């Protein structure tokens, strides 16, 4: 008897989100209200299937044994699925409150990509696994749920902030360089992960990006970085067309700025409670509330970052473009805190089988990736200055 | 002359104090410190803080084997490998604390004044500065209108106050005064959390003990010493902790650990005062010292292996016998002239890259190893074999038997992490205050409403309504409009 009914519902949810994502983009391009309604319906349907998937997994874990049953947020597959679920939840609440569908095109891809990644990545197991003794505590529920709700709020702020930058682009200036660079970088990572899924074998215990940037073959590595630069260049060249087709939003700059800020104002207290409950749990499990473990430290860095966002807004009046840029960079810190630490660094939070070694190729990749992005930004700035 | 000198000295010391104060009060200092703190913390997650070997690996890959040693030495000297306990990191946090404290002390009196002062009735000067205002004409006298206005304000959720000055009726109300304190609560909470951490590192400690089932301990081997207490490598405690029983639970049909529990009894002055069965996430606490279930294992000196011996001769009769052997114990091999002894044993090993056997855990999962020594009746050694289940060909050459490891058992010890932290409740207080402060600062705000009713002629009056909020201005504008309509409409 196999306990993978929940995986079937997971795939229904993933495909529904894909459909909804396509419909939201179509709605944006053609402003057809009927398409917009279908997009929302698709999202609700996917969310329902997703909720069933999570609930079913919870129930199925108890069917495997009273001892084995647990809330499905304990490993990479379960936590990322739950993370995508919280993003959709908060998005649906915002769509209801602001009665505006244009955010959908920027939030759905984040959720969809998260689900596709865990769905096809060769080294992410979908099996229901029993908990190790350290995770058998109710603190697991509180700490993980509040942290993920915080992450979800920041994810939505990220999507809305990118929208803000696109809508407010008037020329190819530094801000243009920033958002085109981010989109280019994201697109590169998505393609690289897809190549991973298609070329790496399940049994190998392969690490993330070993199909491209961290490949053992130098030639493949060089091609990967060259492709990355190429994608950035294309992003610079063609993103104005993206802007043109999306500028017909009903979303005003003011509303985008407000939603971008409000989601951070929701995410920050949630992340604070997430970090504090993590400390309380650590104290109950190991006797130390703060051990400067990489996960703890990076969550603090993310917290400091959004703290800076809030201070900059209140005391220096940093709104609009500056706030949007801060929100976008902050979200990269969130991604590193959630995934980077588990997959690239070692420590108490390492997800065991899927990596967790201080691998030199990981550090090299991160440094090179960021250096190229910063160089691209610099080039955009120079170009925009030169034009004047 | 003397006076002038004195004044100069005063000016200089006053100036010095002013300089220090201005340094710590600057927001630029805060931003700089936070950026340094974030940057240094990032480095701390890439440079391994516990294992020098990992750092060496990383450095060799970046700098080459020649220079790596020198770089590692430099890193150790500058404290990068034990960053969070280094003087400069503590200095960084101390400067940040001073910065927060000075900023709070500087700004707080003004805010406290705003919070505690009574609301002033509306004047024309004030009216000029307020964004929300409306004039309403009414056909009644101020005295009659007063009650209507008060009930409108009450129904909007405020408690109105009134005052009369020279025929002009003032009604005013405010709510959420204390929201202005939210920011100060959060900043003070950071200082409280730091204070708790300092108390913990000055007087608290962290250690580890192993207690074999049935035994007890009265000393803790220290991992982190308290900074202000002079103590050796072991911290004596004035009671004993005894492990009555250790239970290991596995998931059905697997070797994966489901749970492990220790029943501990505290013995104080010869009496059993407390017994608790602890598990991970549920420690035992006595006299503020906490014992956490951290690990477990089998004491190698007291473990025994069950070895199965098969007679090698294929004569049809299978001669199989099981032996229970401790390390170093000499046992006679039945039906043979030999004695055997296990000099080295391991419960769970794997074959390493250089064909060496690497111990994995204390649990027998089928891949145990035993170095068996065989002697004849006179005690002369005749054979030796490393029995390893995963390699059935590794058997003795001379002695005509095959051996297989069936089990590895021993009395368990329970591994307990021990901590004493007198500052931990201060830290929790700080955390609670921080959450409270954030909620107050983000989700409440100070709203003020003023109404002034002046008498016109022929029994008519002009009602001037005004309002202000320190945050959430859009939402307040809507609320203000609704209130004004209530006053006007009724």
pLDDT in tens, B393-405: 888 888 888 898 8
* Euclidean distance between the first and the last CA atom of chain A, given in angstroms as a whole number: 69
Other C-beta atoms closer than 10 Å to the C-beta of A331 total 25
CA distances to A16, A269, A272 from B186, in Å: 43, 11, 12
Domain locations in chain A as residue ranges: 5-387
- Phi, psi (deg, nearest 5) at residue A271: -65, -40
Residue spans of chain B under pLDDT 70: 1-13, 313-318, 490
Q: Please count the residue pairs, one from chain A and one from chain B, whose beta carbons lie less than 8 angstroms apart.
A: 111
Other C-beta atoms closer than 10 Å to the C-beta of B199 total 18
Task: State both tokens at B48.
Answer: 């391994």
CA distances to A97, A358, B77 from B52, in Å: 53, 13, 13
Interface test with B, best of A131, A133, A257, A311 (most B CBs within 10 A): A133
> Least CA distance to A133: which residue of chain B?
B259
Residue A108, classed as helix, strand or coil, is helix
pLDDT tens across A75-106, in order? 889 999 999 999 999 999 988 888 878 778 88
User: What confidence score (pLDDT) does residue A157 get?
Assistant: 94
Sole residue written with tokens 């400091």: A304
**A303–chain B Cβ distance below 8 A for any pair:** no
How far apart are alpha carbons A177 and A161 in whole angstroms?
Answer: 14
How far apart are alpha carbons A78 and A74 in whole angstroms?
Answer: 6
CA distances to A302, B129, B141, B148, B149 from B483, in Å: 42, 20, 20, 12, 10
Cβ neighbours of A283 in B, within 8 Å: 424
User: What confidence score (pLDDT) does residue A126 get?
Assistant: 85
Cβ neighbours of B441 in A, within 8 Å: none
In contact, A133 and B260? CB cutoff 8 Å: yes
In contact, A321 and A165? CB cutoff 8 Å: yes
Q: Are strands B216-224 and B205-212 parallel, antiparallel or unpaired?
A: antiparallel
How far apart are alpha carbons B288 and A287 in whole angstroms?
Answer: 12
pTM over 0.80: yes
How far apart are alpha carbons A290 and A283 in whole angstroms?
Answer: 8
How far apart are alpha carbons A244 and A263 in whole angstroms?
Answer: 26
Indicate yes or no: CB of A136 within 8 angstroms of CB of B34.
no
In contact, A126 and A7? CB cutoff 8 Å: yes
Task: State both tokens at B44.
Answer: 């701390």
How far apart are alpha carbons B338 and B384 in whole angstroms?
Answer: 12
Q: What percent of chain B has pLDDT over 90?
A: 23
Indicate yes or no: CB of A301 within 8 angstroms of CB of B427.
no
SS (HEC) of chain B: CHHHHHHHHHHHHHHHHHHHHHHHHCHHHHHHHHHHHHHHHHHHHHCCCCCHHHHHHHHHHHHHHHHHHHHHHHHHHCCHHHHHHCHHHHHHHHHHHHHHHHHHHHHHHHHHHHHHCCCCCCCHHHHHHCCEEEEEEECCCHHHHHHHHHHHHHHCCCCCEEEEECCEEEEEEEECHHHHHHHHHHHHHHHHHHHHHHHHHHHCEEEEEEEECCCEEEEEEEEECCCCCCCCCEEEEEEEEEEEEEEEEECCCCCCEEEEEEEEEEEECCEEEEEEEEECCECEEECCEEEEEEEEEECHHHCEEEEEEEECCCCCCCCEEEEEEEECCEEECCCCCCEEEEEEEECEEEECCCCCEEEEECCCCCCCEEEEEEECCCCCEEEEEEEECCECCCCCCCCCEEEEEEEEECCEEEEEEEEECCCHHHHHHHHHHHHHHHHHHHHCCCEEEEEEEEECCCCCEEEEEEEEECCCHHHHHHHHHHHHHHHHHC
How far apart are alpha carbons B292 and A137 in whole angstroms?
Answer: 14
In contact, A141 and A149? CB cutoff 8 Å: no
User: What confidence score (pLDDT) does residue B57 get?
Assistant: 75
Chain A nearest-CA distance from B38, in A, is 6
How far apart are alpha carbons B291 and B276 in whole angstroms?
Answer: 11
With 0-12 / 13-18 / 19 or more C-beta atoms within 10 angstroms meaning exposed / middle / buried, residue A381 is middle
For A144-156, letters b (16+ CB in 10 Å) and e give bbbbbbbbbbbbb
Shortest CA distance to B254 belongs to which of A7, A70, A349, A65? A65
How far apart are alpha carbons B448 and B160 in whole angstroms?
Answer: 10
Cβ neighbours of B256 in A, within 8 Å: 130
In contact, B100 and B191? CB cutoff 8 Å: yes
Residue A387, classed as helix, strand or coil, is helix
Chain A nearest-CA distance from B369, in A, is 26
**A366–chain B Cβ distance below 8 A for any pair:** no
User: What confidence score (pLDDT) does residue A46 get?
Assistant: 94
How far apart are alpha carbons A244 and A166 in whole angstroms?
Answer: 9
The yes-or-no verdict on residue A204 having pLDDT over 60 is: no
How far apart are alpha carbons A363 and A340 in whole angstroms?
Answer: 11
User: What confidence score (pLDDT) does residue A203 get?
Assistant: 47
How far apart are alpha carbons A282 and A294 in whole angstroms?
Answer: 14
How far apart are alpha carbons B278 and B292 in whole angstroms?
Answer: 8
Chain A nearest-CA distance from B423, in A, is 11
Of B442 and A120, the structure prediction assigns the larger pLDDT to: B442
Q: Starting at the earlier edge strand, list the strands of the sheet with B339-346.
A: B330-332, B339-346, B369-375, B381-388
CA distances to A261, B108, B438, B439 from B182, in Å: 19, 11, 6, 8
Hey, what domains does chain B have and what are their CATH numbers? 2-112 (no CATH), 119-176+445-489 (3.30.310.80), 187-299+414-436 (2.60.98), 302-408 (no CATH)
Sole residue written with tokens 């689900």: A115
Indicate yes or no: CB of A276 within 8 angstroms of CB of B434.
yes
Of A316 and A184, the structure prediction assigns the larger pLDDT to: A184
Enter the DSSP assignment of A137: S
Shortest CA distance to A123 belongs to which of A192, A204, A4? A204
**A11–chain B Cβ distance below 8 A for any pair:** no
What residues contact residue B10 under an 8 Å CB cut-off, 6+ apart?
A: none
Q: How confident is the model at residue A251 (pLDDT cuts 50, 70, 90)?
A: low
Cβ neighbours of A358 in B, within 8 Å: 46, 48, 54, 57-58
- Closest CB to B434 among A137, A272, A281: A272
User: What confidence score (pLDDT) does residue B276 get?
Assistant: 94
User: What confidence score (pLDDT) does residue A355 get?
Assistant: 39
Of B433 and A365, the structure prediction assigns the larger pLDDT to: B433
According to DSSP H, which parts of chain A are helical? 5-30, 33-64, 76-98, 104-120, 139-167, 174-199, 218-246, 253-285, 294-316, 320-335, 341-344, 360-387
Cβ neighbours of B197 in A, within 8 Å: 290
In contact, A127 and A10? CB cutoff 8 Å: no
How far apart are alpha carbons B226 and B199 in whole angstroms?
Answer: 10
CA distances to A32, A79, A326, B243, B480 from B39, in Å: 48, 28, 16, 45, 46
Cβ neighbours of B44 in A, within 8 Å: 292, 297
User: What confidence score (pLDDT) does residue A358 get?
Assistant: 46
Of A170 and A52, the structure prediction assigns the larger pLDDT to: A52
> Least CA distance to A303: which residue of chain B?
B38
What residues contact residue A153 under an 8 Å CB cut-off, 6+ apart?
A: A90, A263, A264, A266, A267, A270
What residues contact residue B153 under an 8 Å CB cut-off, 6+ apart?
A: B160, B171, B173, B449, B451, B483
Evaluated on CA atoms A311, A157, A336, A230, the torsion sign reads negative
What is the complex's ipTM, to 2 decimals?
Answer: 0.83
Cβ neighbours of A264 in B, within 8 Å: none
- Closest CB to B49 among A268, A292, A341: A292
Q: Are strands B357-361 and B461-469 parallel, antiparallel or unpaired?
A: unpaired
What residues contact residue B235 under an 8 Å CB cut-off, 6+ apart?
A: B205, B207, B219, B220, B222
In contact, B413 and B213? CB cutoff 8 Å: yes
Cβ neighbours of A360 in B, within 8 Å: 57-58, 61-62
**A64–chain B Cβ distance below 8 A for any pair:** no
With 0-12 / 13-18 / 19 or more C-beta atoms within 10 angstroms meaning exposed / middle / buried, residue A226 is exposed
Shortest CA distance to B285 belongs to which of A328, A284, A208? A284
User: What confidence score (pLDDT) does residue A345 get?
Assistant: 66
Indicate yes or no: CB of B58 within 8 angstroms of CB of A363.
yes
């Amino acid at each position: 008897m196999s306990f993978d009914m929940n995986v079937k519902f997971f795939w229904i949810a993933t495909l529904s989100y894909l459909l909804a994502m396509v419909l939201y983009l179509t709605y944006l391009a053609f402003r057809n209200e009927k398409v917009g309604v279908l997009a929302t319906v698709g999202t609700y349907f996917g969310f329902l299937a997703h909720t069933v998937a999570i609930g079913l997994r919870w129930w199925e874990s108890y069917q495997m044994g009273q001892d084995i049953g647990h809330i499905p947020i304990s490993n990479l597959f379960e936590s990322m699925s739950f993370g995508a679920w919280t993003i959709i939840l908060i998005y649906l609440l915002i769509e209801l409150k602001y009665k505006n569908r244009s955010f959908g095109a920027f939030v759905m891809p984040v959720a969809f990509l998260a689900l596709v990644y865990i769905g096809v990545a060769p080294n992410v197991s979908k099996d229901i696994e029993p908990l190790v003794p350290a995770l058998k505590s109710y603190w697991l529920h509180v700490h993980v749920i509040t942290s993920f709700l915080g992450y979800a709020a920041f994810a939505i702020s990220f999507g809305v902030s990118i929208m803000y930058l696109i809508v407010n682009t008037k020329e190819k200036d530094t801000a243009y360089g920033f958002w085109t660079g981010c989109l280019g970088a994201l697109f590169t990572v998505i393609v690289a992960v897809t190549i991973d899924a298609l070329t790496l074998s399940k049994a190998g215990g392969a690490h993330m990006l070993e199909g491209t940037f961290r490949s053992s073959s130098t030639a493949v590595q060089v091609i990967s970085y060259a492709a990355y630069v190429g994608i950035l260049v294309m992003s610079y060249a063609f993103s104005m067309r993206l802007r043109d087709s999306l500028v017909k939003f009903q979303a005003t700059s003011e509303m985008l700025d407000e939603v971008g800020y409000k989601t951070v104002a929701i995410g920050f207290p949630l992340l604070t409670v997430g970090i504090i409950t993590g400390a309380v749990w650590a104290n109950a499990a190991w006797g130390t509330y703060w051990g400067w473990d990489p996960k703890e430290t990076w969550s603090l860095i993310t917290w400091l970052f959004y703290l800076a966002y809030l201070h900059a807004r209140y005391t220096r009046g940093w709104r609009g473009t500056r706030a949007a840029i801060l929100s976008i960079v902050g979200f990269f810190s969130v991604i590193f805190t959630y995934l980077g630490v588990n997959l690239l660094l070692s420590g108490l939070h390492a997800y065991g089988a899927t990596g967790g070694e201080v691998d030199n190729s990981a550090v090299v990749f991160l440094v090179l990736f960021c250096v190229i992005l910063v160089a691209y930004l610099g080039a955009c700035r120079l170009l925009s200055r030169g034009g004047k | 002359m003397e006076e002038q000198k004195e004044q100069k000295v005063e000016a200089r010391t006053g100036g010095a104090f002013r300089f220090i104060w201005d340094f710590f009060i600057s927001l630029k200092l805060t931003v700089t410190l936070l950026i340094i703190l974030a940057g240094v913390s990032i480095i701390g997650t890439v440079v391994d803080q516990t294992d020098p070997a990992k750092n060496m690996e990383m450095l060799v890959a970046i700098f080459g084997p020649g220079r790596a040693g020198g770089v590692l030495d430099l890193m150790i000297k500058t404290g990068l490998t034990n960053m969070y306990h280094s003087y400069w990191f503590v200095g960084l946090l101390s400067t940040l604390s001073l910065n927060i404290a000075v900023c709070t002390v500087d700004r707080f009196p003004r805010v406290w004044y705003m919070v505690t002062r009574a609301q002033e009735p509306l004047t024309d000067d004030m009216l000029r500065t307020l964004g929300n205002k409306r004039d309403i004409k009414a056909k009644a006298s101020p005295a009659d209108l007063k009650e209507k206005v008060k009930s409108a304000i009450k129904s909007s959720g405020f408690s109105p106050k009134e005052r009369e000055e020279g025929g002009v009726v003032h009604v005013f109300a405010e709510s959420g005064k204390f929201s202005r304190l939210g920011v100060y609560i959060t900043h003070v909470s950071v200082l409280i959390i730091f204070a708790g951490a300092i108390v913990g590192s000055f007087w608290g400690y962290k250690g580890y003990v192993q207690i074999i089932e049935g035994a007890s301990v009265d000393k803790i081997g220290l991992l982190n010493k308290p900074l202000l207490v002079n103590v050796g490598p072991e911290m004596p405690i004035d009671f004993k902790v005894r492990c009555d029983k250790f239970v290991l639970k596995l998931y059905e049909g697997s070797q994966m650990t489901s749970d492990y529990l220790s029943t501990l009894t505290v013995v104080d002055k010869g009496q059993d005062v407390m017994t608790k069965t602890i598990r991970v996430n549920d420690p035992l606490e006595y006299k503020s010292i906490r014992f956490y279930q951290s690990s477990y294992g089998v004491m190698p000196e007291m473990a025994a292996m069950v070895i199965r011996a098969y007679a090698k001769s294929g004569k049809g009769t299978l001669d199989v016998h099981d032996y229970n052997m401790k390390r170093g114990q000499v046992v006679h091999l039945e039906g043979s002239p030999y004695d055997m002894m296990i000099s080295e044993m391991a419960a769970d090993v794997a074959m390493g890259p250089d064909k060496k056997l690497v111990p994995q855990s204390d649990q027998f999962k089928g891949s145990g190893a035993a170095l068996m020594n065989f002697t004849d009746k006179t005690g002369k050694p005749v054979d030796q074999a490393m029995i390893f289940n995963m390699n059935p060909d590794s058997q003795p050459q001379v002695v005509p038997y095959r051996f297989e490891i069936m089990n590895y058992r021993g009395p368990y010890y329970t591994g307990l992490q021990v901590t004493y932290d007198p500052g931990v409740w201060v830290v929790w207080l700080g955390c609670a205050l921080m959450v409270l402060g954030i909620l107050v600062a983000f989700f409440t705000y100070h709203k003020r409403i003023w109404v002034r009713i002046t008498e016109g002629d022929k029994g008519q009056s002009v009602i001037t309504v005004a309002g202000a909020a320190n945050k959430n201005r859009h939402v307040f504008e809507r609320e203000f409009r609704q209130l004004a309509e209530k006053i006007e409409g009724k």
